[in-house]
Structure 1
Amino acid sequence: MHASTIATSDPDGTVVSLSPARRLLNGVGPNWFASVMGTGIVATAAASLPVQWPYLRGFAEVVWIVAAVLLAALALVVGSHWLRHPTVARSHAHNTQMAHFYGAAPMALLTVGAGALLVGTDVIGAQAAVRLDWTLWSIGTVAGLFTSVTIPYLMFTQHDVTPDAAFGGWLMPVVPPMVSAATGALLIPHMAPGTGRTTMLYACFAMFGLAMIAALIIITMIWSRLVHYGTSGTARVATLWIVLGPLGQSITAAGLLGSTAAVAVDPRIAGAMQAFAVLFGVPVWGFALLWIGLAAALTVRTLRRGMPFALTWWSLTFPVGTFVTGTSQLALHTGLPALRLAAVAAYLGLLGTWMLVAVRTAYGSVFGYLLRPPPVADIRNEIQLSQQPQDHAVT
C-alpha cells in the first residue's frame, strides 16, 4: 500500500503535493527543543538541590537519559529534514513568532551537557561525561552566540514587528549565552590550571553580561506591552514564564562562577565574585518572586478563558527549573534554611508542571494536532518575503 500525498495550492494556483511524512516533519520546528530543555532541567535541578532524599539521584539519572535520547532524536530528525528541505528552515527564521525559538536548540545542548556532569557520571563514567559536556557546551555556546546576534538582526531589518508584538519568546535567542555562563562554570575545575581557566572564567562572565543586559531590555518591553495592550488571551500567555529563565539562570551563573572562581583567579577577585553571587542573586531573586506572582495570575486568568494547550506550555518548565537552581545556589552561599525550603518547594512545583506538560505533549503528538505544519502557501510567502529587499532596515 503506497503512502498518499496531500495536495494544496499556492495563491497563484500552483498545486504542491506533499507526502504525509513530509507534512509531519514540516510541523517539527525549533520550538520542539524546548521539550529537551524542560526535561533536562528536571534532572540538573534535582542534582543541585540543597536537600537530597532517597531515589532522587536515580530519578534524575533516568530523566537525564530521557532528555539525551530526545535531544538525539530531534537533532537527527529536524537536522536531516532541514538539510534536505532548507526552505522549511528559512521559513521558520522569517516567521516573526517561530524565529525566536531557534535559541531553544543551543540551550537544549547545554542542558543535556550539564546533566552529563551532574548526574551522568554514574551512567557513562566520569571521563565520558566530561568529554560529552565539553562537546555539547562548545557546540551550544557557538550556536547560542550565533542566535543572539542573528535573530535580533532579523528583527531589526526584516521582520514586520508591530508595537504590541513583544512576548516572552523574544528572550529565547539571547538567553543561551547565560546558560553557557552557568554550565561553563561546571567545566572550569576540569581544566588544567593556568591561563585557560582564567580565560574561561572571564569569558563566562562576559556571556553573563551579554545575555543579562539584552534580557533586561526585552523584559522592559514585555512589561510595557502588558501595560499598554494587555495579554493576548491565547497559549502565548504561557511564554510570560520565560522571563524567569534569564532571572533564575543569572542567579545560578553568578553562584556557580563565584564558587569556582578560587581555582582560576587571585583570591581577592575570587572573594569579590563570591560576594557578587549574593549581592546580585538576592535582589534578582526578589524580582523573580514578583514575576512568578504576575505570571501565575495572568496564566490562571487565561486558563479560565479557555487557553488551549500548545508547545508554549513548556515555558512552565525550564524557566521554573532555573529558578530552582538559582535558589539552590543562594541557599548554598547564604546557608539560610528558608532558601533551602524554597528550593525544594519550587522543585516540587517544577515536577508537577513537567509531568503535566510532558503528558499533554505526548498525547498531542500521538493524535497529531501538535504536528500540524503551516500551510504550504504560508511557507512560500515567507520565503518570497525574505528574498525581497527590505526598506526598513536599520542603518
Structure 2
Amino acid sequence: MVLNIPRPLSKVAGPREIVRQFVPSWFAVTMGTGILAVVIKDFPFQFPHQDDLGWAYWFFNVGLFGIFSILFLSRWIFFFNDAIPMFHHPVQSMFLGAIPMGLATIVNGLVLFGTPHWGNSATIAAIVLWFVDVGLAVLCGLLVPIFMLTTHSHALESMSAVWLLPVVPGEVAAASGGLLLAVVQNQRLAQNIAFISMLLWGFSVPLSMSILVIFFLRLVLHKLPPSDLIISCLLPLGPIGTGALAATELGLYAKRTFENSGYGVSATTFQSLASATPAIAMFVATALWGYGVWWLVIAIFAIGHTLRNRLPFNLGWWGLIFPLGVFTASTADLYKLTDFYLFRIPAAVLICILFVLWWVVMFHTVVRAYSGELFYAPCLGPRQACTQNELEI
C-alpha cells in the first residue's frame, strides 16, 4: 500500500540544499507573525492573558527571524554565485523588502513587550535596530527599483502587486519610528526619529500609491492575476495600512515629542507642530483607511472569484497576513486617536480573522516545509524532480 506521506525534507537533496535554495520570501513569515503579536497587544477589548499571548507570538517571531537570518547569510557565504541571480529575478528580488519589514516587527515588539519587562536596555536595543532597519529599508527602496529599471524584464500584463514589496519598507520603518517615540526619553533624539520617520513616509507612500494606480490599470486591462498570484491582490492593503499606521503613531506621540522644544522662533514652530500633528494625522489616516476598505473589498472579491479553482499554496499566502495586519493595526490606532466606535468594532473583528488566518497559513507552511517543498529558489531555474516522494508501507 502506498500513502502520500512524504519523508522529512524528501523534496530537497539535503541540508546544504536548503541553504542554497533559501529565498527572502521566507521573511514574510516573520512579517505576519510579528504583526499578529502587535495587534493582539492592541486588541480593543481586554481579555485574560492578552499581553502574555502577544508576548509569546513576538518571542516566537524573534526565533524565526534569527533562524531565517542565519540561513540567508549562510547562502551568501557558502553559495555566493547562486545568490547573485536573486537580484536579477523579477519576482524574488522584490521579496528583499520582506527583510527590513520583518525586522521592524522585532523593533515594535521591543517597544511593546521588551521595555515593560527589561526597561531601558530594551529601548536602546529598539533604537539601534530601528536605525539598522531604516538603512535596510532605504537600501532596498533604491536598489531593487534600480534593477527593475536596468536589468529586469517586466510587462504590464504580468505585473502583480509584489512591485510594492521593495517600496513599502520605508513607511513600515516610519510606523516603527512613530511607536519608538512612546519610549525614547531623550527629546532631541525623539525629534530626530520623528523627522526621519516623516521623511521615510514621503520616501515610500507616494511611490506606493503610484504603483497602486498602475496595478489597478493592469487589473482593468488584463483582468485578475493567475490563481498562484491571486493572493497578491491583498498586498495593496500593506502600503495603505502602514501609511495610515505611521500617521497615527506620529499623531499619538507628536505632542510629547515636540512640545517645550527649541528657543525663539523654533520654539513656536515646534509648539505649532505638536498641536497640529494629531489633527493632520487623524485626517490622513482616516482618508487612507477609507481607501483601504475599497481595496479590501476588491481583494475579497478577487480571491473569492478565484476560489472556484484550486489555489496552490506558496509562501505568497503570507500576503494575507501582514497587509491585513497593518490595516488592522491602523484601525486600532484610529480608535485610540478618535475614540470612535466605527474603528473599535472592525478592529476587534479583523484581529480575530487575522488570528484564524495565521493558523491556517502557518499549518500549510509547516507541512510543506517538512517535506522540503517550500525550499525552492526560482532564480536558480527548475528544480529536478525528486525520486523519493512517497513512503511505502
Shorter chain as denominator, the TM-score bin is 0.7 to 0.9
The Cα shift of 1:96 comes to 0.4
Equivalent of 1:268 in 272, 279, 296: 272
| 1:44-103 Cα deviation digits (max 9, x unpaired) | 111123322112211111101110000000001111221221223211111001110000
Separation (CA, whole Å) in 1 of partners of 2:379 and 2:65:
27
Aligned pairs for 1:53-202 (under 5 A) are 53-121=47-115, 125-202=118-195
The Cα shift of 1:21 comes to 2.6
Number of positions where the alignment pairs a residue of Structure 1 with one of Structure 2: 362
Equivalent of 1:371 in 372, 375, 378: 375
Separation (CA, whole Å) in 2 of partners of 1:322 and 1:373:
28
Q: Does 1:296 align with 2:289?
A: no
Q: Which runs of 4+ in 1 moved over 6 A?
A: none
State the TM-score, normalized to the length of structure 2: 0.88
Could you tell me which amino acid in structure 1 is paired with residue 60 of structure 2?
A: V
The Cα shift of 1:378 comes to 6.6
Could you tell me which amino acid in structure 1 is paired with residue 317 of structure 2?
A: W
Match of 1:50 in 2: 44
Separation (CA, whole Å) in 2 of partners of 1:355 and 1:194:
41
Could you tell me which amino acid in structure 2 is paired with residue 32 of structure 1?
A: W
Please say if residues 48 and 328 of structure 1, whose CA atoms lie closer than 8 Å, have aligned partners that are also in contact: yes
Secondary structure at 1:264 match in 2: helix
Equivalent of 1:306 in 305, 310, 315: 310
Match of 2:33 in 1: 39
Please say if residues 23 and 372 of structure 1, whose CA atoms lie closer than 8 Å, have aligned partners that are also in contact: no
Q: 1:45 to 1:290 in 2, by over 3 A?
A: same
The Cα shift of 1:374 comes to 3.8
Separation (CA, whole Å) in 2 of partners of 1:181 and 1:378:
38
Secondary structure at 1:321 match in 2: helix
Separation (CA, whole Å) in 1 of partners of 2:34 and 2:160:
24
The Cα shift of 1:219 comes to 0.6
Please say if residues 157 and 222 of structure 2, whose CA atoms lie closer than 8 Å, have aligned partners that are also in contact: yes
Please say if residues 144 and 177 of structure 1, whose CA atoms lie closer than 8 Å, have aligned partners that are also in contact: yes
Aligned pairs for 1:19-38 (under 5 A) are 20-38=14-32
Q: 1:198 to 1:128 in 2, by over 3 A?
A: closer
Separation (CA, whole Å) in 2 of partners of 1:369 and 1:192:
47
Could you tell me which amino acid in structure 1 is paired with residue 323 of structure 2?
A: P
Secondary structure at 2:142 match in 1: helix
Match of 2:320 in 1: 316
Structure 2 residue runs without a partner (length 5+): 1-11, 259-269, 384-393
Match of 1:390 in 2: none
Aligned pairs for 1:195-214 (under 5 A) are 195-214=188-207
Please say if residues 64 and 120 of structure 1, whose CA atoms lie closer than 8 Å, have aligned partners that are also in contact: no
Separation (CA, whole Å) in 2 of partners of 1:56 and 1:67:
17
Secondary structure at 1:369 match in 2: coil
Q: Does 1:281 align with 2:281?
A: no
Select between 330-339 and 60-69 the one with higher mean Cα deviation: 330-339
Could you tell me which amino acid in structure 2 is paired with residue 83 of structure 1?
A: I
The Cα shift of 1:242 comes to 1.3
Please say if residues 30 and 98 of structure 1, whose CA atoms lie closer than 8 Å, have aligned partners that are also in contact: yes
| 1:210-253 Cα deviation digits (max 9, x unpaired) | 11001001111110111111122222111121111111111111
Secondary structure at 1:174 match in 2: coil
Please say if residues 87 and 93 of structure 2, whose CA atoms lie closer than 8 Å, have aligned partners that are also in contact: yes
Separation (CA, whole Å) in 1 of partners of 2:182 and 2:206:
27
Could you tell me which amino acid in structure 1 is paired with residue 243 of structure 2?
A: S
Please say if residues 49 and 325 of structure 1, whose CA atoms lie closer than 8 Å, have aligned partners that are also in contact: no
Could you tell me which amino acid in structure 1 is paired with residue 350 of structure 2?
A: A
Secondary structure at 2:310 match in 1: coil
Could you tell me which amino acid in structure 2 is paired with residue 203 of structure 1?
A: I
Match of 1:256 in 2: 249
The Cα shift of 1:329 comes to 1.1
Match of 1:391 in 2: none
Could you tell me which amino acid in structure 1 is paired with residue 324 of structure 2?
A: V
Could you tell me which amino acid in structure 1 is paired with residue 238 of structure 2?
A: G
Please say if residues 43 and 119 of structure 1, whose CA atoms lie closer than 8 Å, have aligned partners that are also in contact: no
Select between 283-292 and 191-200 the one with higher mean Cα deviation: 191-200
Separation (CA, whole Å) in 1 of partners of 2:13 and 2:335:
54
Match of 1:217 in 2: 210
Separation (CA, whole Å) in 1 of partners of 2:119 and 2:40:
19
Q: Does 1:233 align with 2:226?
A: yes
Question: RCO (CA 8 Å, sep 6+): is it higher in 1 or 2?
Answer: 2
